[in-house]
């Protein structure tokens, strides 16, 4: 295969130079995100940080068995901690960091408690008690709490294991339990109690966990368990104490996320922190009375929390696999955020999971009764909207725990609504609901607005009665109930929003535009709402006015309404805004329309109205693809919004998205100067690392020196100024790597990594930084072939992929990089998975398309899909031929396409490609690279010509190849890793001899073919003397079999018999070396010998019938269908009377079998 002069570093070029994306989801100053710590095939779980905070231990099933691995977080390298020779699980590091306990299944299939010393984990000690170890936790550095059972049907028990010279076991608690955790001071034991589901069946097989925890004082023998029911919906499990003993971390299973009808540990888990001051007598009571702090949102499913001194480690599920993640001890919402900051963030987030998390945090910080009740109502409604009925009912029930006369009575109608929707869901699932109509009548009767405890309760009861009536098909009553609700300026916001949602649903079903318009208009003047909420309802009313109408009719309707609207009101503004948005109805709106919209924006002095205008206009522009409108609004908005505020963050996000989109469009049209200006603008204004990558790439392409690039690519964003500077330096160093060698390359890799590490706390959750880190390690692997570098590159790529979220360009880029990396490492099946995913996305430029296509072609070849490999290579070649800028890669792509077509048996296509490639290679320099390439291409073209039925052309190429192989200058170029020059040269001669033998045979030059075969045989024997490999004996046997066939063709049966005798000796020697019961080479020799023997004219040097009979009996004993054809032919030849053949001759063999070593 051809090698390029220098290295073809398309992989790195694609990765580093084409990284940014038009979609924007860069992490900013909002909610935190979890940091991924582990990567790899399979699941990684049960992670624990060592005392140093840098050593991570975890369990992985990447090699089928579950084993314990250790990882250096700083270096990113992981290794198996020890080889148990069996499954292991449940690793726990002792408080002093010197020991590791785990459950081993090596000596006891039901589980055995074992301990190893850290850090080497060489000495192994295990508990020799005949019990089934299930879980274990450290009490202190010399005592372990062990959950076990004595028999398979027995109850669980908790024991204290004392680690002395002789381990001792004493009872700690007689209780069926799981997940025990002991406070650092040893005073408290907290666990999940479990009960047998069936008394006759052991708790290990049929048990249910309690929904609450229990706590026991360990320093008081005989102390009774104290129930610890947390103020949370769902099931509580997996408690673990914080290092300071002041809190418990638990996993809460909120809802039935897998829809199996049960809330249990199979559902998605959320992490919570509960105050538990272990030094206090009433710690359980204080924990039960507290409001647990939610740490993660429903967007993550996390379990097995493991708190360290400065971080929390957990096992989280993402994309159907488990990995270990890290987050701050106070979770994804910083503990220093107050109510205004949380309200600000609520205005920024759009995901339901983030809203639930933030509303829960706001509830924890709210002490006033009325807001607390309404926040609970909001949380209940959010859960109800997504059919999380249990969680919704939890918050609805807890509304009664707050005393506020002004909002009394809201809980009951909300719970009735939850029951109603649950019943509707059960009916939709096909489950029988007893007396559904009767239950609905009872629910309706339970709602009595006339005697409601408070006016808001009366309004909400009417709303619920309206929904019940509509569900029963009574639209008239549904409307009557809704319109009977007395909505006033004192009605709480949560109730008003529920009323408007009901109005929107009902009036849309009734197709009553005017009623819906009036509902929105009415709320837009309600004083309960802040200005921004009033504006939202006014816009909703205007949307109801123009929705579904032709543009002209909609504009006329808004114009008439505007004449009657109070000047300056929210409704009047919404109508004017609606007219401007309605005028946008094509991809390229007329300039007067766009100018009028921008002028209307500048007329607004109220930031809320500016934001509303931007939101509606951007939504319409994005839907139409009106990029000019989007860019103009984004530019105006970012200039007006104050920096560092919610408005500023919103404006920057829109600006980043709009301007990057324009920059990429300009780049695609080859307007590089304009594109660079856009990238520069985004980088300076927002500190975007993605735009910085493109700015640097375009400058370097234009010949700007790295020193100048470093000075020019900066930002005015204060928080990002230093991290971006380090990122820019690392990038510029990385771009130098492909042209460096030896120590200079190694020093540059180290310098680039040092720059990233200097600002790693700020950069580690930035996908651009992770991708760059991976690219640096990838390049290091390509140069030094160090598996550790490939492992680190893979780790950073996968973490970057985890951070991609909705950025399609970045996702495609990283998938391609992963595919290239694994192809170069040799993990072809894994590589193909990534490359197939990458192929689902379009290619922005041909360079990346060629790199991925060639990597995919190579992976397909190595997994045995040769035809697809050739097709992929041809696609890469087409991309190169279509793009003049890819001309430097034309020869290399030609060579790969020719090779893969040759491997696929498409010989004519391969010959055509080699014929195109050879002139380019011949015209190249006659340096070491060029001399080797000439030899390889000629040899390959000869093989293609032979397959295409042109043996004479093959001989012509082979003549030149053989002359080149005799030249010392060419011989000096034939080097390979882990092989001597002599071995490499011999390999080429073996290939050439085989091709010559086949070509001469095709031309019926049998004497020449025999000489080539004898040369090939001699080369293999010579190689065997050096390497002692079984493969060489097999190759010698095949060559001798070919020589026998050649002798038959030359009418020389005596020579054929001698070659068969030698071949059988070699086959017997190989069988003896490998201890295989059957050898295919031996069977082939016997089959050929049987044919000659059956003709009756050839004397063979061995007893053919006897050897055939032995072989037949062996095949019968094997009972393997693969040998069926041999058995059938041996039966035929034996039936033909092979025993009447000639006697054995003692002719001297032309070769000698190699001695068995």
pLDDT tens per residue, range 510-544: 999 999 999 888 888 888 778 888 888 898 889 88
Please name the residues in contact with 1107: beta carbons below 8 A apart, sequence gap of 6 or more: 1064, 1086, 1089
Residue 231: inside a domain, yes or no? yes
Peptide bond into 119 cis (omega under 30): yes
Residue span of the structural domain in which 1081 resides: 1028-1157
Listed as ranges, residues in the chain with pLDDT below 50 are: 4-25, 27, 200-206, 1138-1157
Final residue before a domain boundary, out of 294, 322, 348: 294
Residue 428, in any domain of the structure: no
Sequence-ordered list of residues with C-beta below 8 angstroms from that of 369, at least 6 positions apart, any chain: 402, 403, 404
pLDDT at residue 207, rounded to an integer: 58
Residue 713 covered by a domain: no
Q: Angle 531-546/493-510 helices, nearest 10 degrees?
A: 0
Burial degree of 919 (CB within 10 A; 0-12, 13-18, 19+): exposed
Closest CA to 900 of 938, 860, 935, 939: 860
- Cα–Cα dist 271/1084, whole Å: 66
Q: What secondary structure does DSSP assign to 461-485, as a single string?
A: HHHHHHHHHHHTT-HHHHHHHHHHS
Residue 144, Cβ density class (10 Å: 0-12 exposed, 13-18 middle, ≥19 buried)? buried
Helix-helix angle 1124-1135:1104-1118, to 10 degrees: 140
What residues pair up with 92 in beta bridges, in sequence order? 101
Nearest CA among 619, 614, 541, 621 for reference residue 574: 541
Structure pTM?
0.83
3-state helix, strand, coil in the chain (%, to 5): 55, 15, 30
Tell whether 599 is covered by a domain. no
Give the Cα separation of 117 and 465 in Å (integer): 67
In a domain, 276, yes or no: yes
In 3D space, the residue among 758, 786, 785 whose CA is nearest the CA of residue 773 turns out to be: 758
Note the pLDDT tens digit of each residue in 3-56: 544 344 444 444 444 433 344 445 456 888 899 999 878 899 999 999 888 999
**Has residue 813 been placed in a domain?**
no
Q: How many domains does the chain have?
A: 2
Q: Give the DSSP letter string of 880-945.
A: HHH-GGGGGGHHHHHHHHHHHHHHTT-HHHHHHHHHHHHHHHHTS--SHHHHHHHHHHHHHHHHHH
841: CB partners within 8 A, 6+ apart = 808, 811, 812, 815
Domain end marker among 242, 261, 294: 294
| Cα–Cα distance list, 686 to 350, 640, 657, 769 (Å) | 21, 15, 11, 16
C-alpha dihedral sign at 44, 46, 50, 53:
positive
**pLDDT for position 11:** 42
Specify if 1098 maps to a domain. Answer: yes
Distance set, CA 820 to CA 12, 17, 825, 849 (Å): 9, 16, 9, 12
Which of 537, 533, 528 has its CA nearest to residue 371? 528
> What is the chain's mean pLDDT, rounded?
88
Residue 208 pLDDT: 75
Fill in the DSSP letter of residue 720: G
Single residue among 294, 313, 333 that ends a domain in this structure: 294
In this structure, the number of other CB atoms found within 10 A of the CB of residue 824 comes to: 18
**1092 within a domain of the structure (yes/no):** yes
Confidence (pLDDT) at 8 = 40
User: What is the distance between the alpha carbons of residues 896 and 878, in angstroms, rounded to a whole number?
Assistant: 13
Q: Which residues of 75-107 are buried (b: 16+ CB within 10 A; e: fewer)?
A: ebebeebbebeebbbbbbbbeeeebbbbbbbee
Task: Give the single-character DSSP code of 826.
Answer: T
User: What's the gap between Cα 145 and its chain centre?
Assistant: 36
Candidates 433, 434, 460, 436; CA nearest to 448 is 460
Could you tell me which of 126, 79, 82 has the C-alpha nearest to residue 107?
A: 126
The reported pLDDT for the residue numbered 625 is: 85
Distance, in Å, from the CA atom of 615 to the CA atom of 412, rounded to the nearest integer, reads: 37
For 924, residues 6+ apart whose C-beta sits below 8 A from its C-beta are: 5, 891, 930, 933
Helix (H) or strand (E) holding 678: helix 672-686
What pLDDT shows up at residue 1? 58
Q: Which three-class secondary structure string do you get for 723-790?
A: HHHHHHHHHHHHHHHHHCCHHHHHHHHHHHHHHHHHCHHHHCCCHHHHHHHHHHHHHHHHHHCCHHHH
Cβ-in-10-Å burial (0-12, 13-18, 19+) of 472 comes to middle
- CB 941 within 8 Å of CB 914: yes
């Amino acid at each position: 295969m051809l090698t390029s002069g220098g290295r073809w570093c398309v992989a790195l070029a694609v990765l580093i130079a084409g990284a940014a994306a038009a979609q924007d989801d860069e992490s900013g100053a909002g909610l935190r995100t979890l940091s991924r710590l582990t990567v790899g095939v399979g699941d990684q779980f049960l992670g624990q940080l060592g005392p140093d905070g840098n050593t991570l231990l975890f369990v992985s099933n990447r090699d089928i068995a579950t084993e314990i691995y250790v990882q250096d977080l700083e270096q990113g390298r992981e290794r198996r901690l020890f080889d148990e020779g069996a499954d292991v699980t449940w690793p726990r590091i002792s408080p002093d960091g010197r020991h590791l306990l785990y459950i081993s299944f090596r000596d006891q299939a039901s589980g055995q408690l074992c301990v190893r010393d850290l850090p080497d984990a060489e000495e192994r000690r295990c508990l020799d008690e005949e019990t089934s170890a299930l879980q274990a936790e450290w009490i202190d550095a010399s005592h372990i709490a062990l959950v076990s059972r004595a028999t398979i049907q027995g109850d669980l028990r908790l024991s204290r294991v004392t680690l002395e010279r002789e381990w001792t076991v004493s009872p700690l608690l007689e209780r069926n339990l799981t997940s025990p955790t002991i406070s650092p001071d040893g005073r408290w034991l907290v666990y999940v109690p479990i009960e047998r589901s069936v008394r006759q069946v052991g708790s290990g097989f049929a048990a249910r966990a309690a929904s609450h925890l229990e706590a026991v004082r360990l320093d008081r023998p005989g102390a009774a368990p104290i129930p610890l029911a947390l103020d949370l919906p769902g099931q509580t499990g997996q408690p673990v104490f914080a290092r300071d003993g002041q809190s418990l971390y638990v996993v809460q299973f909120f809802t039935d996320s897998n829809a199996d009808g049960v809330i249990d540990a199979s559902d998605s888990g959320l992490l919570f922190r509960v105050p538990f001051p272990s030094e206090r007598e009433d710690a359980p009571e204080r924990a039960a009375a507290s409001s647990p702090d939610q740490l993660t949102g429903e967007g993550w499913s996390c379990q097995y929390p493991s708190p360290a001194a400065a971080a929390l480690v957990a096992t989280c599920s993402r994309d159907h696999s488990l990995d270990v993640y890290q987050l701050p001890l106070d979770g994804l919402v910083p503990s220093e955020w107050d109510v205004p900051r949380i309200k600000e963030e609520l205005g920024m987030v759009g995901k339901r999971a983030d809203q639930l998390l933030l509303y829960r945090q706001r509830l924890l910080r709210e002490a006033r009764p009325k807001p607390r009740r309404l926040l609970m109502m909001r949380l209940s409604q959010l859960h109800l909207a997504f059919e999380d009925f249990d969680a919704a009912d939890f918050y609805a029930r807890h509304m009664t725990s707050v005393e506020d006369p002004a909002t009394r009575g809201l809980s009951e109608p909300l719970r009735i609504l939850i029951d109603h929707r649950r019943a509707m869901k059960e009916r939709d699932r096909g489950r029988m609901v007893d007396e559904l109509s009767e239950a609905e009548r009872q629910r309706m009767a339970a709602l009595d607005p006339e005697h409601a405890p408070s006016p808001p309760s009366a309004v909400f009861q009417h709303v619920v009665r309206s929904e019940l009536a509509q569900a029963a098909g009574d639209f008239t009553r549904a409307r009557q109930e809704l319109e009977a609700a007395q909505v006033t300026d004192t009605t709480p916001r949560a109730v008003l929003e529920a009323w408007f949602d009901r109005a929107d649903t009902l009036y849309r079903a009734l197709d009553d535009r005017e009623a819906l318009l009036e509902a929105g208009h009415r709320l837009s003047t309600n004083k309960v709402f802040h200005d921004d909420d009033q504006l939202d309802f006014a816009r909703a009313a205007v949307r109801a006015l123009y929705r579904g109408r032709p543009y002209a009719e909609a504009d006329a309707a808004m114009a008439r309404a505007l004449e009657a609207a109070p000047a300056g009101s929210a409704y009047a503004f919404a109508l004017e805004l609606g007219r401007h948005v309605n005028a946008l109805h094509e991809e390229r709106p007329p300039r007067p329309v766009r100018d009028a919209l921008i002028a209307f924006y500048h007329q607004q002095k109220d930031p809320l109205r500016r934001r509303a205008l931007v939101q509606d206009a951007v939504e319409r522009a994005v839907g139409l693809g009106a990029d000019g409108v989007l860019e103009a609004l984004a530019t105006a908005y970012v200039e007006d919004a104050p920096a560092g505020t919610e408005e500023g963050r919103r404006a920057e996000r829109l600006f980043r998205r709009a301007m990057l989109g324009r920059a990429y469009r300009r780049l695609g049209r080859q307007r590089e100067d304009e594109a660079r200006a856009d990238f520069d603008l985004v980088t300076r204004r927002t500190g975007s690392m993605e735009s910085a990558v493109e700015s640097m790439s375009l400058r370097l392409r234009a010949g700007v020196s790295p020193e100048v690039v470093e000075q020019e690519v900066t930002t005015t964003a204060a928080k990002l100024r230093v991290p971006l500077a380090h990122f820019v330096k690392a990038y510029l160093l990385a771009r130098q790597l492909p042209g460096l060698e030896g120590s200079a390359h190694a020093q540059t890799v180290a310098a680039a990594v040092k720059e990233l590490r200097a600002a790693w706390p700020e950069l580690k959750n930035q996908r651009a930084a992770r991708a760059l880190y991976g690219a640096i390690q990838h390049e290091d692997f390509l140069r030094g072939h160090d598996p550790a570098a490939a492992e680190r590159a893979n780790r950073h790529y996968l973490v970057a992929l985890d951070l991609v979220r909705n950025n399609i360009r970045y996702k495609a880029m990283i998938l391609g990089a992963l595919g290239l990396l694994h192809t170069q490492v040799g993990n072809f099946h894994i590589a193909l998975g990534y490359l197939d995913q990458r192929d689902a996305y379009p290619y922005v430029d041909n360079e990346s398309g060629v790199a991925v296509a060639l990597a995919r072609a190579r992976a397909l070849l190595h997994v045995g899909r040769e035809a697809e490999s050739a097709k992929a290579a041809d696609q890469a070649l087409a991309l190169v031929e279509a793009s003049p800028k890819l001309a430097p890669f034309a020869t290399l792509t030609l060579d790969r396409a020719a090779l893969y077509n040759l491997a696929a048996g498409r010989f004519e296509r391969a010959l055509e490609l080699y014929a195109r490639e050879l002139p380019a290679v011949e015209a190249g320099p006659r340096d070491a690279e060029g001399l080797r390439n000439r030899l390889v291409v000629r040899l390959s073209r000869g093989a293609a010509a032979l397959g295409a039925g042109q043996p004479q052309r093959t001989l012509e190429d082979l003549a030149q190849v053989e002359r080149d192989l005799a030249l010392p200058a060419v011989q000096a170029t034939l080097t390979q890793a882990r092989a001597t020059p002599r071995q490499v040269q011999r390999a080429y001669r073996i290939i050439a001899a085989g091709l010559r033998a086949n070509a001469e045979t095709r031309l019926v030059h049998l004497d020449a073919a025999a000489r080539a075969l004898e040369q090939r045989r001699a080369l293999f024997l010579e190689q065997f003397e050096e390497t002692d490999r079984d493969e060489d004996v097999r190759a010698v046997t095949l060559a001798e079999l070919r020589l026998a066939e050649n002798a038959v063709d030359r009418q020389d049966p005596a020579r054929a018999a001698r070659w068969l005798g030698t071949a059988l000796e070699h086959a017997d020697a190989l069988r003896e070396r490998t201890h295989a019961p059957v050898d295919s080479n031996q069977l082939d020799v016997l089959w050929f010998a049987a044919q000659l023997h059956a003709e009756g004219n050839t004397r063979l040097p061995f007893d053919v019938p006897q050897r055939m009979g032995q072989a037949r009996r062996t095949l019968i004993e094997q009972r393997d269908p693969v040998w069926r054809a041999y058995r059938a032919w041996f039966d035929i030849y034996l039936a033909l009377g092979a025993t009447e053949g000639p006697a054995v001759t003692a002719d001297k063999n032309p070769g000698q079998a190699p001695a068995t070593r």
